[in-house]
Amino acid sequence: MKVTYFTREYPPHVYGGAGVHIKNLSREVAKRAQVDVRCFGEQDLSEESLKVKGYNAWPRMWEGEDKKFNSTLGTFSTDLSMIRDRIDSDLVHGHTWYASMAGFFAKMLYDIPLVSTVHSLEPLRPWKEEQLGRSYHLTSWIERVALESSDRVVAVSNQSRGEILEHFPAIDPKKVVVIHNGIDLNVWRHVDRTDARQAYGLLDQPYILFVGRTSRQKGMVYLIEAMKHVDPGVRLVCCTSAPDTPEIEEEIAAKVKQEPRCTWINTLLREEQYIELYSGATVFACPSVYEPFGIINLEAMACERPVVASAVGGIQEVVVNEKTGFLVPPAEPKALAEAINRVLRNPEMARQFGLAGRKRVEDHFSWTSIADKTLAMYRELLLEKGRKVD
């Protein structure tokens, strides 16, 4: 079997959960199939069964006077570049709207099955119009075209599956399958290192950790607001990157200035630094207002940390309330603070939550298991199309 993946993110250019997903899925699938990854960037990798090639937009697509349109037009341009080279795979698999045009065009040009994984839905992210202007309606359009044309749509949670069917009723429910995100259990585990914590001055008191993009979606403002109600003697550490807009970054900066206990690490860190920061945290907080899955919670649980997270989307299928952490209503700073305080005041409960979280990711979210489900879905689809392969 051979599969072509279309994705915006791939190492070293990974800034969100979709990039983490495709990095691990492609490498695991490549153990049992031929994998061709086409991504945004300058990557050029060729191994025995895994080939990765980066593509760039035509430069002038980033030079428009209406700057909010440049990102979308540049994305479409890169997608066209990705299908410029011949495709000889049995099927193609696109990830996020950024790769939707490439996936759709590949299906049309080569008459091969298209699989699309939904990591988030444009209709549920209306704040993106602030970022993209009217071109947000183009991103929503190409997402719809690709999903409705897909032979399989992969939802990363049961909650996400319901949202897909609600917003895209033209899609046959039989084509929408749930395959959760996963985590590399050998990499993401508790460590006792102190280098990163020492570099950021985090050895003197316990801290709450937040990791996420600088986006309204991630709810960081509610966590900062919650600090007014969190017990004294505890710091908040926010690790962010990839702001949606300069205005959102400025808004967050103003909030941080109002909270003296907040340490803002506003840069993309190395993987080993994140692992150390997770491992050293007293509690991990995920205050997202929208989250189809929330891979950051898996990262925290794999590092044996208790989690306090919003009861939204796929988070509810990852965090088990009162077993691996607490689930709270979204956008409610006081409820968030109360749950964090419960963890802070009971170290033994926190330890038990952390151990239970590690066991849960080991039992349900390994990439080997997720690759098995993905390959089984590919084989079923190809058999359905009369294209049986090994």
- Better-scored residue on pLDDT, 17 or 102: 102
- Name the one residue in this structure whose structure tokens are 């084989």: 379
Task: Give CA–CA dist 61/139, Å, rounded.
Answer: 15
Question: 4: which 2 tokens?
Answer: 């072509």
- Better-scored residue on pLDDT, 338 or 68: 338
pLDDT (0 to 100) of residue 245 = 86
DSSP bridge partners of 4: 36, 92
Question: 81: which 2 tokens?
Answer: 């570049």
pLDDT (0 to 100) of residue 65 = 87
Summarised one tens digit per residue, pLDDT across range 269-297 is 999 999 999 999 999 999 999 998 989 99
Smallest CA-to-CA distance from 5 within 85, 73, 82 is with 82
Summarised one tens digit per residue, pLDDT across range 305-318 is 999 999 999 999 99
Cβ burial, residue 373 (10 Å; 0-12/13-18/19+): middle
Question: 198: which 2 tokens?
Answer: 């020492």
Do 309 and 294 form a contact (C-beta atoms < 8 A)?
yes
Question: 188: which 2 tokens?
Answer: 């993401």
pLDDT (0 to 100) of residue 62 = 81
pLDDT (0 to 100) of residue 19 = 92
Task: Give CA–CA dist 247/379, Å, rounded.
Answer: 46
Smallest CA-to-CA distance from 75 within 131, 125, 113, 30 is with 131
Task: Give CA–CA dist 266/300, Å, rounded.
Answer: 19
Q: Cα 20 to chain center, whole Å?
A: 7
Domains within the chain, CATH numbers bracketed: 2-182+366-384 (3.40.50.2000), 195-364 (3.40.50.2000)
pLDDT (0 to 100) of residue 126 = 87
How many residues does this entry show for the chain? 390
Task: Give CA–CA dist 245/73, Å, rounded.
Answer: 17
- Name the one residue in this structure whose structure tokens are 């990499």: 187
Task: Give CA–CA dist 230/335, Å, rounded.
Answer: 10
pLDDT at 59 over 90: no
CA atoms within 13 A on the CB side of 377: 27
Confidence of residue 320 (pLDDT cuts 50, 70, 90): very high
Do 147 and 172 form a contact (C-beta atoms < 8 A)?
no
pLDDT at 40 over 90: yes
Mean pLDDT of 358-371: 94
Residues 349-356: contacts with CB under 8 Å, at least 24 apart: 349/306, 350/282, 350/283, 350/306, 353/306, 353/307, 353/323, 353/324, 353/325, 354/301, 354/304, 354/305, 354/306, 355/304, 356/320, 356/323, 356/324
- Better-scored residue on pLDDT, 331 or 243: 331
Task: Give CA–CA dist 202/27, Å, rounded.
Answer: 34
Do 210 and 285 form a contact (C-beta atoms < 8 A)?
yes
Summarised one tens digit per residue, pLDDT across range 120-144 is 999 988 888 888 899 999 999 999 9
pLDDT (0 to 100) of residue 242 = 83
